[in-house]
Amino acid sequence: MAAIEVNGVSKRYGSLLALDRVDLAVEEGEIFGFLGPNGAGKSTLLNILLDFAKPTHGSATIFGADCQRNPVAAREHLGVLPEGYAVYDRLTGREHIEYAIRSKNADDDPVEILRRVGIREDGDRKASDYSKGMAQRLVLGMALVGEPDLLLLDEPTSGLDPNGAAEMRRIIEEENERGATIFFSSHILEQVQAVCDRVAILQGGELVAVDTIQGLRDSLGGGTKLIITVDELSPAILDTLRGTEGVETARPAEDESTVEVTCTNDAKMDVLVALHGAGVDVVNFRTEEASLEDMFIEYTGGSRQ
């Protein structure tokens, strides 16, 4: 049975179509990344799965339970780190975890959960005194209680320091190893690339890609990235590159005279020939596999994350 099944879901807010006939199946045991530029509709879909919002058309299920008609059954499978989480000012971190254990009828050890999310030493402090990252770790700890079948995480690393982000990745992998399915939205594409089995890219409410990272690369004709340093980079050279067959994107790197070109595997030589034809001296060049970030830019037409 699919962990998440979304069937023809549209969501309209007045004249704005936030989701447009989205179909998506996340299989049990997957680590699935849900990506898209700001305003693409990611939180809207997560809110529908949590029954915080109703679809205008279509339906969604979690392990077969309809998210709108049977939200209690759908929620039984879930651990959630929502976007706008809040902590109770008067409770300590430990009391939050104990509350989650009671309400899920679970038997976890609260200290062990606090340890896993890296706030064991702060467990007896009031959550109102926590930093943003500590509060986020606490809410993640509450999501882990009761070994949920599916973790829904909205931007799980957004408030975390680099150590916290690495710990988050470890927790996602540990949870997946014990059998949990993980569905998370993120703008930190390096982490998504490192941990996800498959990703979906949403843009303007429509799904534009659903695949493994290698599958995305293959659909882009091999997805190669050329990093080329020239004697002098100008807008005209970028235009020449963008007009070369097989080139998908050409954008200046941080260093002023370097350009990063994503293209199909067999267009590499054509790129160098086009530069030569335009009278450009190539000082240096190397190739890399296109990263998820490169492909994201390509699929979303250069939209900001």
Q: Is 81 in the site for ligand ATP (CB under 6 A)?
A: no
Residue 248 CB, nearest distance to ligand ATP (Å)? 23
Distance CA 161, CA 158 (A): 9
Radius of gyration, alpha carbons of the chain: 22
Pairing relation of β-strands 198-203 and 31-35? parallel
Residue 192 CB, nearest distance to ligand ATP (Å)? 13
Q: Is 16 in the site for ligand ATP (CB under 6 A)?
A: yes
Do the beta carbons of residue 180 and residue 147 sit within 8 Å? yes
Q: Is 140 in the site for ligand ATP (CB under 6 A)?
A: no
Max distance between CA atoms of the chain, in angstroms, equals 72
Is 2 exposed, middle or buried, given 0-12, 13-18 or 19+ CB atoms closer than 10 A? middle
Q: Is 253 in the site for ligand ATP (CB under 6 A)?
A: no
Q: Is 250 in the site for ligand ATP (CB under 6 A)?
A: no
Distance CA 87, CA 91 (A): 8
Q: Is 41 in the site for ligand ATP (CB under 6 A)?
A: yes
Q: Is 43 in the site for ligand ATP (CB under 6 A)?
A: yes
Residue 54 CB, nearest distance to ligand ATP (Å)? 11
Name which of 297, 166, 278, 269 is nearest 230 in CA terms: 278
Binding ligand ATP (rule: CB under 6 A), the pick from 8, 29, 39, 82 is 39
Instruction: Collapse the DSSP code of 118 into the 3-class scheme (helix H, G, I; strand E, B; otherwise coil) and give the result.
Output: coil
Selected range binding ligand ATP among 32-40, 158-166, 235-243, 254-262, rule: CB under 6 A: 32-40
Q: Is 96 in the site for ligand ATP (CB under 6 A)?
A: no
Q: Is 188 in the site for ligand ATP (CB under 6 A)?
A: no
Q: Which spans of this chain sit near ligand ATP (rule: CB under 6 A)?
A: 13, 16, 18, 36, 38-44
